[in-house]
C-alpha cells in the first residue's frame, strides 16, 4: 500500500463556488469548482479511505462532505472507470 501523506498545506485556496439565485431569491450552489490540488487530494484520500466523505472533507478546509461526494460522483462514477 502506498504511503500517502496529506496535509492542509497541500490544498490551495483558488477554488470557487458559482452561486445562483432560486425563485425565492436564496442563493444556491449551481456549480462547485475544485482546484487541481483539491482534486488530487480527493483522489488520494479516496484510495486510502474509500467513500468516507466526511473524513475526506475534514482534510480540505471550507469543503463539505456533500460537495466532495457530488464532485466524486460527477467525475469518477463507476461507469467511467
- Decide if 79 is inside a domain: yes
Angle between helices 65-75 and 36-49 (to 10 degrees): 90
Question: Cα separation of 40 and 7, whole Å?
Answer: 12
Q: What are 25-46's pLDDT values in tens digits?
A: 444 455 778 999 999 999 999 9
Is the pTM here over 0.85, yes or no? Answer: no
Q: What pLDDT does residue 30 have?
A: 53
CA–CA dist 13, 40 (Å, integer): 14
SS3 (DSSP) at 56: helix
In the chain, which stretches have pLDDT less than 50?
1-28, 80-81
73 domain-assigned: yes
* Number of domains composing the chain: 1
**Bridge partners, residue 19, by sequence:** 29
Residue 42 lies in a domain: yes
Note down the domain range covering 55: 34-81
> Is the residue at 74 inside a domain?
yes
Within a domain: residue 27? no
Residue 44: which CATH number? 1.10.10.60
Amino acid at each position: 500500500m502506498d504511503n500517502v501523506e496529506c496535509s492542509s498545506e497541500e490544498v490551495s485556496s483558488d477554488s470557487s463556488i458559482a452561486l445562483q439565485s432560486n425563485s425565492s431569491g436564496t442563493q444556491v450552489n449551481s456549480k462547485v469548482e475544485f482546484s487541481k490540488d483539491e482534486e488530487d487530494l480527493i483522489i488520494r484520500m479516496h484510495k486510502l479511505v474509500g467513500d468516507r466523505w466526511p473524513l475526506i472533507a475534514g482534510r480540505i478546509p471550507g469543503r463539505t462532505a456533500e460537495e466532495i461526494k457530488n464532485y466524486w460522483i460527477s467525475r469518477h462514477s463507476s461507469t467511467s472507470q
